[in-house]
Chain A
Amino acid sequence: MTKMEKPANFSRRSFLTTGGALVVSIGMPISAETLLSINTAFAQATATRPPLVPNQLSSYVAINADGSVSAFFGKMDMGQGLYVSIGQMVAEELDVPFERVTVYMADTRTSVNQGGASGSTGIQSGGKQMRAASAEARRVLVEMGAQKLNLPADQLTVADGVVQAKSDPAKRATYAELIGGRHFNVELEWNNKIGNALYAPGKATPKSHKDYKIVGKPIKRADIAPKAFCTAPFVTDIKRPGMVHARMVRPPVAGATIESVDEASIKNIPGARVVRENNFLAVVADKEWDAIKALRQLKVQWSNSKPPFIDQAALYEYIRKAPVRKREDSKPVGNVEEAFKSAARVIEAEYEWPFQSHSCMGPACAVVEIADNGHVTCWSGTQKPHFLRDGVARTLGVKPETVDCIWVVGPGSYGRSDADDCGNDCAVIAKAVGKPVRLQYMRNDGTGWDPKAPASIHRARAAIDAKGQVIAYQFLSKGFSRVDVNTNGSQPRDTLAGHFRGVELRSGDNFGVPAESYAFANKHTAWETIPPLLDRASPLRSSHLRDPVGPQIHFASESFMDEIAHALGVDPLELRLRHVKNPRHAAVLQAAAKKAGWESRPSPRKGQSGNTASGRGIAYAARNGTVVAIVSEIEVDRSTGKIWARKFTVAHDCGQVINPDGLVHTVEGNIIQALSRTIWEEVKFDTGNVTSIDWLTYPILDMTEVPEVIDVVILDRPDQPPTGAGEGSTRPVTAAIANAIFDATGVRLRRAPFTPDRLRAAMS
């Protein structure tokens, strides 16, 4: 049931008009074909397609001729089951069975720009819009039913996609009869924003949560089976007639430029050729293996570039001393400096976090085809196809409407990865060779040249008075920017294709401060960014990786809460509950502690002898309305320094829960990935280039290191708006482990990752 049939011949109308049975795959970006039946014309319905614009209801939802529902979603599901939740929200508002809804995602041909995957807003803002549009669709359908049945709308109800009289169910009209096979033609009140902020409600008010029948239910994903039976293509499997294969040639030393390319050095490889524009260099061949051989064989004379980087051992000292490019202060509470002057004691600590890599399971892949009429199609694993569409258009110097970008599931998706670079690179090559091109990066491109999560340092200070009360708190983040390159590929200046072709980078500034609700009489937080080490085509350019800057900031801030608790000799949970002000924040802390059987006592734990020391740690953080508290229980092997995070108890409040099943799987994935980042992940580099280029030089968590239990406690708040779950549980993991290490061993780690070597050295 899940084929990608001739996607290039697809048109939006074919969803509604092409003959044949309904052929759909929930969540897959493929064409659905249903029978068209023309009904009585209504002003709110049209046989011709309204333009795909944010203020048209038809841009979000359609009723097919058989009464099934197509939802067009301008975001994507990276595998956390988002599309199921969206289907639930749409079905709920439309009063149709869940099974009748198909969600088409992240395809510029079918959806408007809702921002792609970004900031865990899939449900929070993307779902909010789909809910509003679906509610409006139901309202319009009831109005159409009122006309058809000649009854006032307030005397009608809807059940299973049938509008019927409350008094007489025999008076009825199905959605299919009312509009099936035609398009809504209803204007919405668009806020004139695109991306995450897009909101375009109609006149309808969505349902009360008290009436929910589908939202809140655990519904399984339908896209697992096609993966288990290998029937669904990944972006790496897209094939086009006449397609050739490409590989990128990157400089051995970052910043090096091309002096000469010996094209004769690959002349023995059939069909192999070079594509070059300034320092943009690729090889192309008819066969994929020949492209790889050409990559390895091509002789290039690179300039003797001055090595752009610093000695990695001096990274944190460098950040400490680097000039500040931008600083942003939060609104201070009280007078921190005065409070510190009056302090009986001052506690201070500084924490360090390395560059980290997306290191997606496979390096990025894209296919670009430029048709004879100039129309460009880009198949990509990008999280943000609408922005990539704009980027490809700019890269090629054509209008955005000339380009379509189709998301096809790729090898992992955790933010601004190499996918957006790959799509733009591939477009340059496709234009140069005049044939459809498939470009897949090599492993060293994927790990070595992807945008990195920024390295940073974090300083925290607390002032304690004579009675042992915390009277002042100060926190400063300083690091490389989280938007050195922007979080999407819409501008050539943010892509490697742009940089290597000569477009100047305009590095942006952003970082962050702790997201919690600790109240102190005097409190001040701030962040500072420093310039990049290399201003163009840098393998250390920084951008968004899952929960951008969240792990590093909260590693510091939540470790520091434990350092305060230790200094005061109080239980770490008790200290947090003394200061946390938001009741929902207190609730997750209490829920996690209760479920984990938290014993109230100060850390470290007493009476630990023997080679294995065990400990527990707690940490919490908020993220865009979501709040998560985590208790970790770990064992430390003193002789090896190896940590086993045996158990996590995660209390999770993301407001209204749409699908508890998807939520638990999402949280588990976040915990494992964050554990990997905590224990292992650090991008290595020398003065010339990044030296983390594969899984040996950038190790991640192994199956033999996974926890025994991840216990997720969901605090459902059906009366609250839903917020994101894609990243929030990533955030407190590192501190929960650092605090557990201290509890077990009395050793405080302030530099991530906590590799066995580092912990062993700290314990000796």
Chain B
Amino acid sequence: MASFTLDVNGKSHAIDADPDMPLLYALKNDVGLNNPQFGCGLAQCGACTVHLNGQPIRSCVTPVSAVGDGKVVTMSGLGTPEKPHPLQTAYVAEQVTQCGYCINGWVMTAAAFLRDNKKPTDEQIKQALHGIKCRCGTHMNILRAVKRAASMMG
């Protein structure tokens, strides 16, 4: 066990954990967030995606000891109903989800991609989201939402 101070969504959290414990469990059980989610523990699906210093990472395979002073932003830190991120607005407008368990992977990956890539083509969006899983098959909705958000972030 070791002590860590995590910067999550702009707040500092002191936790005691095994250095090799993945960040996911710190976020869910120590910080107490309802997101991200455990999908595979193998970095294959995206359900656990968060931003570390602005870049999407898979928190299910990132040891808490590797986070250091890095700034962690989860999907709940992306925006609020009062001040939503364009992707959150677009998700609601396009009625994207079915079960919604996959949502962190798509939104957090797309958020970093749209921040760095203005006016992307459909093909670029698809490539950016390659590998992320949705089992309910809401891909058409997801694409519409990401395109809507892209136009909002223009």
Contact = CB atoms under 8 A, between A and B. Distances in A.
B99 A361 contact: yes
A700 B75 CA distance: 25
Contacts of A695: 40, 42, 44-45, 133
Interface stretch (A173-181, A316-324, A407-415, A554-562): A407-415
A707 B141 CA distance: 12
A227 B135 CA distance: 16
A670 B135 contact: no
B101 A229 contact: no
B34 A233 contact: yes
Interface string A555-598: 00000000000000000000000000000000000000000000
A220 B95 contact: yes
A234 B37 contact: yes
Interface in A397-416: 409-414
A307 B21 CA distance: 35
A443 B80 CA distance: 31
B140 interface: yes
A288 B26 CA distance: 10
Given A229-B80, A362-B101, A234 B39 contact: no
A704 interface: yes
Interface in B98-116: 98-103, 107
Contact of B18 (A237, A289, A442): A289
Contacts of B131: 702
B143 A706 contact: yes
Interface string B16-50: 01100110010011001111011111101101000
A703 B142 contact: yes
Contact of B139 (A225, A287, A672): A672
B136 A669 contact: yes
Contacts of A442: 41
Name the residue among B18, B79, B134, B141 with the largest chain A CB count within 10 angstroms.
B134
Nearest to A269: B18
A79 B95 CA distance: 10
Nearest to A237: B34
Contacts of B136: 78-79, 361, 412, 669, 673
Contact of B100 (A79, A360, A668): A79
A359 interface: yes
Contacts of A258: none
A671 interface: yes
A230 B33 contact: yes
A229 B84 contact: yes
A409 B107 CA distance: 19
A703 B132 contact: yes
A286 to B, nearest CB: 10
B98 A78 contact: yes
A289 B38 contact: no
Contacts, number: 171
A755 to B, nearest CB: 18
Contacts of B141: 665, 668
A701 interface: yes
Contacts of A700: 133, 135
B74 interface: yes
A17 interface: no
Contact of B99 (A289, A411, A704): A411
Contact of B44 (A78, A236, A694): A694
Contact of B130 (A239, A361, A409, A704): A704
A228 B88 contact: yes
Contacts of B102: 361
A229 B47 contact: no
Given A234-B34, A289-B17, A361-B102, A694 B140 contact: no
A227 B100 contact: yes
B99 A359 contact: no
Determine chain A's interface SS by DSSP, over half rule: loop
Contacts of B10: none
A442 B38 CA distance: 9
A350 interface: no
Contact of A289 (B22, B80, B91, B127): B22
A407 to B, nearest CB: 12
B140 A710 contact: yes
B37 A443 contact: no
Contacts of B101: 234, 360-362, 409-412
Nearest to B81: A229
Determine chain B's interface SS by DSSP, over half rule: loop
A224 B91 contact: yes
A712 to B, nearest CB: 10
Contact of B103 (A228, A292, A672): A228
B34 A359 contact: no
A676 B137 CA distance: 9
B92 interface: yes
B73 to A, nearest CB: 12
Nearest to A229: B81
A298 interface: no
Contacts of B127: 704
A361 B97 contact: no
A124 interface: no
B129 A703 contact: yes
A230 B76 contact: yes
Contact of A231 (B34, B91, B92): B34
B139 A701 contact: yes
Contacts of B143: 703, 706
Contacts of B95: 81, 220-221, 224, 661, 665
Nearest to B64: A289
A289 B100 contact: no
B119 interface: no
Contacts of B17: 289
Contact of B29 (A288, A293, A359): A288
A696 interface: yes
Interface string A360-373: 11110000000000
A232 interface: yes
Contacts of B25: 287-289
A507 interface: no
A703 B22 contact: no
B96 interface: yes
A661 B100 CA distance: 18
A704 B123 CA distance: 8
Interface of B: 17-18, 21-22, 25, 28-29, 32-35, 37-42, 44-45, 47, 74-76, 79-81, 84, 88, 91-92, 95-103, 107, 126-127, 129-143
Given A362-B40, A672-B140, 12 more contacts: A79-B97, A220-B95, A224-B91, A230-B74, A288-B29, A289-B21, A361-B39, A362-B38, A411-B39, A442-B41, A661-B95, A703-B132
12 contacts: A227-B91, A227-B100, A228-B96, A229-B76, A233-B34, A237-B28, A237-B34, A362-B37, A362-B47, A661-B95, A695-B42, A707-B140
Interface of A: 78-81, 220-221, 224-225, 227-234, 236-237, 239, 287-289, 292-293, 359-363, 409-414, 440, 442-443, 661, 665, 668-673, 675-676, 694-696, 700-704, 706-707, 710
- Nearest 4 CB-CB pairs, A to B? A79-B98, A672-B137, A230-B76, A673-B137
